[in-house]
Amino acid sequence: MSRPISDDLWAPRPLPEGGAFHCRFGPLEFWLRRVDTDLILHLRRDAAQEIICLVDDALPPTDVKAGERFTYEGPLEQVRAIPMLPDRSIVVRPENALKVLNGQKTQFFVSIPLMIRVELVGKNESDAMPVTDLITAVMSNTWFGDTMGGELCYALKTTAKHRLDTVTRRKWRAICPVTVVNQSEKSLDLQRICVQSKHLGCYSGETLLWANAVEVTHRAEKEELQVQFAQEAPVFEKISRQLSEPREPVKKSFLRRGLSGFRMFAHI
């Protein structure tokens, strides 16, 4: 059984002069040092450490070179990490080759690597200043859709699972439940699925981080695709709180007409 997720990972921490904010979220490890009014980022990646998640005030080792430097003025003397869904859509393959029969539906669980937003925080936590966004796992780029209406996405190496208990559980990933409904008269051959992560928030559960559920309905006779984004957290385990809002909030659902619209969700 997975251990509970500690909210301490996301709590603001002091960042005094000469101090550091050290985080490890799986393969991503970084330090943010404060030198006068400058913030200096040190970063390294180690895929062998993908289970570890921690936040402390350790200083960077001497073999990790300084990278980006940021400057600021003001009384913001705390820093925190905010888990966010990635800034691009995620393309993932079903665990097995799959055809959804007409009039049927199927559900997947997609494990999405998070982006960690580093924020400076004042006395009031709502008074925050973003510093940078760092992806936890480096993903390859892929083009999804046709030449006229496609988009640049991230490609997941892992697959979409049918059963939650087969999903690899990592505290630097969010689980997005995706339901595909086939209301056409023919079987629907799903090869790849595109999850528009910019419309998803992040929630803290008992043992996992979660994203809003997505339901996609295909109606071939109307050449219509309906996409619904749940406005609340998934119900697969108790949720303690919402950790971040969607990058681009949308209404509960929207329609895309034409087969090219469906290809923006799935390759058929």
Is the separation of the CB atoms in 153 and 194 below 8 Å? yes
Is the separation of the CB atoms in 131 and 140 below 8 Å? no
Query: Has residue 199 been placed in a domain?
Result: yes
Compute CA distances 30 → 17, 18, 256, whole Å: 18, 16, 40
Rounded to 5 degrees, φ, ψ at 73 are -130, 135
**What residues have CB less than 8 Å from 190, skipping those under 6 apart?**
94, 98, 99, 100, 180, 266, 267, 268
pLDDT of 12 above 60: yes
Query: Has residue 75 been placed in a domain?
Result: no
Q: How many domains does the chain have?
A: 1
Q: Quick one: 40 exposed, middle or buried, by C-beta within 10 A (0-12, 13-18, 19+)?
A: middle
Query: Has residue 122 been placed in a domain?
Result: no
The pLDDT of residue 264: 44
The pLDDT of residue 3: 52
Tens digits of residue pLDDT in 178-193: 999 988 888 888 888 8
Q: Quick one: 158 exposed, middle or buried, by C-beta within 10 A (0-12, 13-18, 19+)?
A: middle
Confidence of residue 8 (pLDDT cuts 50, 70, 90): confident
Is the separation of the CB atoms in 87 and 198 below 8 Å? yes
Confidence of residue 255 (pLDDT cuts 50, 70, 90): low
pLDDT of 7 above 80: no
The pLDDT of residue 2: 47
Query: Has residue 108 been placed in a domain?
Result: yes
* Pick from 241, 190, 246, 182: nearest CA to 217: 182
CB-side neighbour CA atoms (13 Å) of 90 = 34
Query: Has residue 70 been placed in a domain?
Result: no
Tens digits of residue pLDDT in 46-67: 988 878 899 999 999 999 999 9
Q: Quick one: 198 exposed, middle or buried, by C-beta within 10 A (0-12, 13-18, 19+)?
A: middle
Confidence of residue 253 (pLDDT cuts 50, 70, 90): low
Compute CA distances 230 → 88, 164, 212, 216, 257, whole Å: 19, 18, 6, 11, 21
The pLDDT of residue 6: 63
Integer Cα distance of 67 and 15 in angstroms: 18
Query: Is 91 or 5 the better-scoring residue by pLDDT?
Result: 91
pLDDT of 173 above 60: yes
Is the separation of the CB atoms in 172 and 25 below 8 Å? yes
The pLDDT of residue 201: 96
The pLDDT of residue 33: 96
Query: Has residue 21 been placed in a domain?
Result: no
Average pLDDT over residues 7-22: 91
Tens digits of residue pLDDT in 212-231: 999 988 876 656 678 889 98
The pLDDT of residue 79: 95
Tens digits of residue pLDDT in 103-154: 899 999 999 999 999 999 987 766 789 999 999 999 999 988 777 667 899 9
Confidence of residue 263 (pLDDT cuts 50, 70, 90): very low
Query: Has residue 36 been placed in a domain?
Result: no
Identify the helix (H) or strand (E) that includes residue 259.
helix 259-263
Domain that holds residue 105: 86-113+138-267
For the chain, state the CA radius of gyration. Answer: 20
Query: Has residue 259 been placed in a domain?
Result: yes
The pLDDT of residue 221: 62
Compute CA distances 199 → 83, 191, 254, whole Å: 14, 22, 12
